[in-house]
Amino acid sequence: MFNAVNGLGGGGQVNPKASTDSNTAVYSTFSVIGFFAGSIANWLGIKKALSFGGIGYCVYVSSYLCYNHTQNYGFIVFAGFLLGCCAGILWAAQGAIMMAYPPEENKGKYISVFWMIFNMGGVIGSLVPLGQNIHTTTNSAVSDGTYVGFIVLTALGAILAFFLCDAKSVVRNDGSRVIVMKNPTWKTEFIGMWETLKDEPYVILLFPMFFSSNWFYTYHFNGVNLARFNTRTRSLNSVLYWLAQIWGAMIFGYCLDLTRFRRTVRAKALWVILFVLTFVIWGGGYAFQANYTRAEVEMGDATPDDPSDDYQKLDWTDSGYIGPMFLYIFYASGNSFRTQHQN
């Protein structure tokens, strides 16, 4: 649901400032809490960690509904701060499930299945604003009903986490059980984290990749989708974006498990493919970006009813829509390939 809201560009708002500042709070907090989140998730347990994380998403979406009526900037930034705390813990718990449950020969498929389910949430969530705004051809904030739908779904997500099977009760196809290590005290948790960084220094070398992991989302959602398309077209683009992530995950995840090649060969070959695809897709993005500037976008948003304003946002009925639509789809599939390879 978080992906669906932000996929609308600016969280569904006309002016992206509030959403941008809120997401700055999200990731600033996330980057700090995430470093310790594994220890916190071990202490809480997977189900409690996931449920606690879900609460933050519900509050986050609620702040957008509030902002529609009160312009309460402080609340929307606080909601981002709270979500950063919650999300770090949620993703640590999710990572434990994704990496600990599958047998070695099926890790790529399990990651792929997770990514497909995860992005199906984005698809379903994006269908909500598409249905709500399908006749809205002007550039306006999404309706209250859209946010209410997101609030209900995020609240259900937090509740459903309590119905997960306990890790100790999970049995794999080969009869083996999932072993989730749990340290008894905070002291041993932090000692274990220090020993991991000391004994496995390659983790530190991965930090630049972690740093760039979500770098592009703000550009995709705000710099492209919000800047160039009207409300209902942004909603359609968001649906297509998450659908593309699904098929991208399916292809790449299964390729990572091809047993006829050694793991190192698979990793290197797919890294080369990813490298080439990235430059091709973003090269097309550069050509598209050359057609408009930030100043034009801001002027267009400031005077949406001014007939003398030359900057017009694209609608799906416009003749020039198809090319940018496929660019946005390829942005998503390229991201899906990258995430699969990173995991």
Q: Is 111 or 75 the better-scoring residue by pLDDT?
A: 75
pLDDT at 77 over 70: yes
Residues 6+ apart with CB under 8 A from 80: 21, 22, 23, 24, 25, 26, 29, 60, 63
180: in domain? yes
Sign of CA dihedral 331, 337, 340, 343: negative
Does residue 38 sit within a domain?
yes
In sequence order, what are the residues at sequence separation of 6 or more whose Cβ sits closer than 8 angstroms to the Cβ of residue 60? 2, 5, 22, 26, 79, 80, 82, 83, 154
Each residue of 278-306: pLDDT tens digit?
Answer: 899 999 999 999 888 877 777 665 444 44
Asked if residue 155 belongs to a domain, the reply is: yes
Q: Which tokens is 262 given?
A: 């050694």
Q: For residues 18-45, give the mean pLDDT.
A: 85
Instruction: Enumerate the β-bridge partners of residue 233.
Output: none
Task: For residue 312, tell me if it sits in a domain.
Answer: yes
User: What integer pLDDT is reported at residue 60 of this predicted model?
Assistant: 92
Count helices and strands (H / E) in the chain: 15, 0
CATH number assigned to the domain comprising residue 112: 1.20.1250.20
Measured CA to CA, the distance from residue 223 to residue 237 in angstroms comes to: 14
- The pTM (predicted TM-score) of the whole model is 0.69
> What per-residue confidence (pLDDT) applies to 183?
60
Task: Select, from the ranges 25-34, 176-185, 215-224, the one with the highest average predicted confidence (pLDDT).
Answer: 25-34
Contacts for 321 with CB less than 8 Å, ≥ 6 apart: 233, 314, 315
Q: Tokens 């390939």 sit at which residue?
A: 337
Q: What is the structure's pLDDT at 198?
A: 83
| pLDDT band (50, 70, 90) for residue 14 | low
Banded model confidence at residue 82, pLDDT cuts 50, 70, 90: very high
Does 309 score more than 70 pLDDT?
A: no
Looking at the domain assignment, is residue 269 inside a domain?
yes
In terms of pLDDT, which residue wins out, 285 or 11?
285
Give the lowest-confidence range in 36-50, 74-88, 169-183.
169-183
- Tell me if 183 sits within 8 A of 189, measured CB to CB: yes
When pLDDT is cut at 50, 70 and 90, the band that residue 327 belongs to is: very high
Buried b (16+ CB within 10 A) or exposed e, 103-119: eeebbbbbbbbbbbebb
The pLDDT > 70 percentage for the chain reads 86
Structure tokens at 296: 């034009």
Amino acid 326: pLDDT? 93
> Can you tell me the distance from the alpha carbon of 108 to that of 254, in angstroms, rounded to the nearest whole number?
6
Answer with the residue of higher pLDDT: 341 or 201. Answer: 201
Q: Does residue 266 belong to any structural domain of this protein?
A: yes
Cβ atoms of residues 147 and 65 within 8 Å = yes
Average model confidence (pLDDT) across the chain: 81
pLDDT tens-place string over residues 167-205: 778 888 778 887 766 666 777 777 877 888 888 887 788
Report pLDDT for 159: 92
pLDDT of residue 286: 93
Q: In Å, how far are 32, 143, 173, 239, 254 from 125, measured between CA atoms?
A: 28, 14, 33, 8, 26
List pLDDT tens digits, range 238-251.
Answer: 889 989 888 887 77
Domain of 176, in residue numbers: 2-206+226-342
pLDDT of residue 8: 65
Q: Residues 6 or more apart from 158 whose CB is under 8 A from it?
A: 51, 52, 53, 54, 55, 57, 58
Q: Which pLDDT belongs to residue 302? A: 44
Look at residue 307 in the predicted model and tell me its pLDDT. Answer: 45
Instruction: Give the per-residue pLDDT at 304.
Output: 45
- Whether residue 229 has pLDDT greater than 70: yes
Query: 61 in a domain, yes or no?
Result: yes
Instruction: Please tell me the total count of domains within the chain.
Output: 1
Residue at 11 is within a domain: yes
